[in-house]
Structure 1
Amino acid sequence: MSVLEGNYLLANLPALMSGLALTARITLIAVVLGIAWGTVLALARLSQNRILAWFATFYVNLFRSVPLVMVILWFFLIVPQLMHALFGNAVEDIRFTSALVAFSLFEAAYYSEIMRAGILSVSRGQFDAGLALGFTRQETLRIIILPQAFRNMLPLLLTQAVILFQDTSLVYVIGLSDFFGTAHKLGDRDGHLVEMLLLAGLIYFLISFLASQLVARLQKRRIR
C-alpha cells in the first residue's frame, strides 16, 4: 500500500495536523519572543553603556557560534530542573517549554542583528529631530526610530521566521511530536519511512515557498 493512497493519509491526517499545529505554535511564539528579546539586545549593543553593549555582543556571538541542536539539548537538560525549582510540578509540558525557551533565546541573537541593522538604517537626523521636539531618548526610540526599523527590516524578519519554521524539525531530538517527528514515527511504525519523510519534506517546501513568495511581494511593495 502506498503512503500516498487516500485511505492511509486520511487515517493519519489527525496526527499529522496535530504535529503541524505544534510546529506552528513553536514558530509563532518563538518569533514573537525572539523579536522582542532581539530588539532589547539590539538596543543594548547600540547603548553607550559598555556593560550592556558587552553583554549583548557576547550573547549574540555565543548563540550564533553554537549549533541549534546543541542549544535545544542544553535547555532540555536545564529548563526542567529550573521549572521544577520555581513551579514544582505546575508545568506539565516540559519538552514543549524547553524547546520554546531554546528557540526564543537562540533566534533572538539573529533577530538582534536584523533589528540593529534596521535601527542604523534610520537617519540620525530623525533621532535628533525627535529630541528637538521635546521627546526623551526612550520616547524617540519607541515612537520614531523603532517603527521605521521594523518596517525597513520586515522582509528580513519574515525570512528569519521561515528559517525558524524549518528549524523546528530539530525538536525530534528531545522527543517532541512536531510535524517532522510525527511523520517519522508514523512512517517507521507502518513501514513507509521514506515515503512519509518525502511527504513531510514536500509540505515543508510548499509552506516555506509560499511564505518566501509573500516576503518577496512585501519587499517589492516596500521598494515601490
Structure 2
Amino acid sequence: MNLDFTQIVPYIPFILKGIGATLQFVSISIVVGFILGTILAICKITKVPLLKWLADAYTSIFRGTPLILQLMIIYFAVPQLTGFDITAFVSAVLAFGLNSAAYVSEIIRAGIMAVDKGQTEAAEALGVPYKSMMLNIILPQAFKNILPALMNEFITLTKESAIVSTIGYLDLMRRAQIVGADIYRNFEPLLVAGLIYWVMVFILTKIGGLVERRMRQSD
C-alpha cells in the first residue's frame, strides 16, 4: 500500500484548527435550530390554523429538500437576488440552523404530545395562562423526554457539517482537502479527518449519555 503519513505531520496543526471552526458554526446552528424549532413546535399544536399550516409547510420544505441545496441557495442564490454577499460562515449557520429547526420542531412536538394530558387539564382547571403552562409545566417535561433525540440531532449536524467545504468554509474537511491538494496525496489527510470526526462524535455521544443518566437520576 502506497501510504506515507510522514508528509502530513507538518500539516496536523492546520487540520486541527478545523475542529474549532466546525464546532463553532455547528454549535450556533443547533441553538438557532432549537429556538426556531421550539417556536415551530408550538405553532404546530396551536389551535390557530394559519400558524399550524405555516409551521407544517416550513417543515415539509426543509425536510423534503437536500441540505446541500439549501446551503447553495443561501450562499450563491440569495446574494444574486439581494445584491448582498453572505459569508461562508453565516451561510453555514443559516442553512444548518434552518434545516435543523424543521427536525427539532418534530422532535419537540412529539415530546409535547407525549406529556400526560392530565397535566394540561389540571393547569387549565387552575386557570394557569397558556404561556405559563407551556413554559413552566409542559416544555420542561417534554425536553427531559426528548433529550436523547436532540443529542442525536447535534451529532448528525456535526457529521453533516462536512458539506460546508463545498462553499470554501475552512472546516475540518476543507482543510483536509487543502492538505491533500498541497502534497498530492488525499488518502492520508482524509483518513486523519475521518478519525477526528469519529472522535468528536464519540465524545458527544458519551456526553449525551452522561447528561441523560443525570436527568434520569434527578427524577
Paired residue for 2:34? 35
What is the letter of the counterpart of residue 71 of structure 1?
Q
Shift of 1:148: 1.2
The CA distance in 1 between the partners of 2:209 and 2:66, in whole Å, is 28
TM-score, length of structure 1 as denominator length = 0.87
1:21 and 2:25 matched: no
The CA distance in 1 between the partners of 2:78 and 2:32, in whole Å, is 17
Q: How many residues are paired up?
A: 216
Give CA deviations for 1:42-70 in whole Å, capped at 9, x if unaligned: 11111111111111111111111111111
What is the letter of the counterpart of residue 149 of structure 1?
A
Shift of 1:13: 3.3
Aligned match of 1:99 in 74, 92, 97?
92
Give CA deviations for 1:154-205 in whole Å, capped at 9, x if unaligned: 1110111000001110001111110111011111211221111011111111
Give CA deviations for 1:122-180 in whole Å, capped at 9, x if unaligned: 11111222233332001100111111111111111011100000111000111111011
Given that 1:155 and 1:218 are in contact with CA atoms closer than 8 Å, whether structure 2 keeps it comes out as no
Given that 1:79 and 1:98 are in contact with CA atoms closer than 8 Å, whether structure 2 keeps it comes out as no
Moved more, 132-141 or 213-222: 213-222
1:138 and 2:137 matched: no
The CA distance in 2 between the partners of 1:152 and 1:81, in whole Å, is 43
Given that 2:8 and 2:179 are in contact with CA atoms closer than 8 Å, whether structure 1 keeps it comes out as no
Paired residue for 2:158? 165
Moved more, 174-183 or 13-22: 13-22
Listed as ranges, the gaps of 5+ residues in structure 1 are 86-90
Question: Secondary structure at 1:134's aligned position in 2?
Answer: coil
Paired residue for 2:108? 115
Paired residue for 1:88? none
The CA distance in 2 between the partners of 1:118 and 1:94, in whole Å, is 35
1:50 and 2:43 matched: no
TM-score, length of structure 2 as denominator length = 0.89
